Amino acid sequence: MKKIIFLSISLLSFSVLSQGTEDAIKLLDEVSNKISSFDNMMFEFTYVLENRSENIRQETKGSVTISKNLYKINFLGYEQLFDGKMTYTIIPENEEITISDPEEGPEFGINPSELLTIYKKNYAYQWDIKQNIMGTPVQYIKLIPNEEKKELKYLLLGINMKTKLIYRLIEIGRYNTRTILTLKNINTNIMLSDDFFIFDKSKYPDYYINE
């Protein structure tokens, strides 16, 4: 009898977990498909870095414009542009431009265009908590790395259930470090110039260019 009860509980637990995974994937696909349908997307964000054991909390703000895999970021006093081939980091304070391979990624760790597909890359999914943030229902999906990552425990991707757009991405590190990326003032299908994502060297005649 005990074995039967244990087996029943195990099967029920597996069924609930499986259902949660299916719900998570369904919601993530819905969000990804919706965002992918836009010609472009612009939003502001806050980026918070925390390490409570070290009493560290740093908050910065920025803005991003995305069109498919192209993006332009304004963050920490610099502008970073990806034109589909190379990444250009423009630092007015130093009058310096760095041209680099896109594999090196943006300064704040996540390629903005990959916010749409990050969950498809070597993660397991769990249906997590739901919060009401200033009247907005936010459902979190927990993304657990399938492969051990030295710095990362897991991600929490918060979805605005009214708009079915990304509201927040939380990264939980292995060394008491947490980063929180919160999106706001999202606009879609805005008018952009043809050269919006093109780097024009002639605009920076006195800048040092590091290639």
Using 50, 70 and 90 to split pLDDT, how confident is the model at 145? Answer: confident
Exposure string over 64-90, b if 16+ CB within 10 A, otherwise e? bbbbebbbbbebeebbbbbbeeebbbb
d(CA 39, CA 22): 28
Tell me what pLDDT residue 102 has: 75
Please tell me the distance from the alpha carbon of residue 112 to that of residue 41, in angstroms, as a whole number.
10
SS3 13: helix
Domains held by the chain: number = 1
Lowest mean pLDDT among 10-14, 34-38, 43-47, 157-161: 10-14
Q: Are 49 and 177 in contact (CB under 8 A)?
A: yes
Percentage above 90 pLDDT, the chain = 47
- Predicted TM-score (pTM) of this structure: 0.81
Provide the pLDDT for residue 23.
86
Please give the order of strands across the beta sheet that includes 70-75.
123-133, 136-145, 152-160, 165-173, 177-188, 41-51, 56-67, 70-75, 78-82, 87-91, 96-100, 208-210
Burial group, residue 159, by CB count within 10 angstroms (0-12, 13-18, 19+): buried
Residues spanned by the domain of 50: 2-210
Q: Is the pLDDT of residue 11 over 60?
A: no
Indicate if the pLDDT at residue 131 is higher than 90.
yes
What pLDDT shows up at residue 35?
87
**CB 207 within 8 Å of CB 98:** no
Measured in whole angstroms, the distance separating CA 4 from the mean position of its chain's CA atoms is 44
pLDDT at 192 over 80: yes
We report the CATH number of the domain holding residue 30 as 2.50.20.10
164-173 pLDDT per residue, tens = 999 999 999 8
Which residues are registered as beta bridge partners of 133? Answer: 136
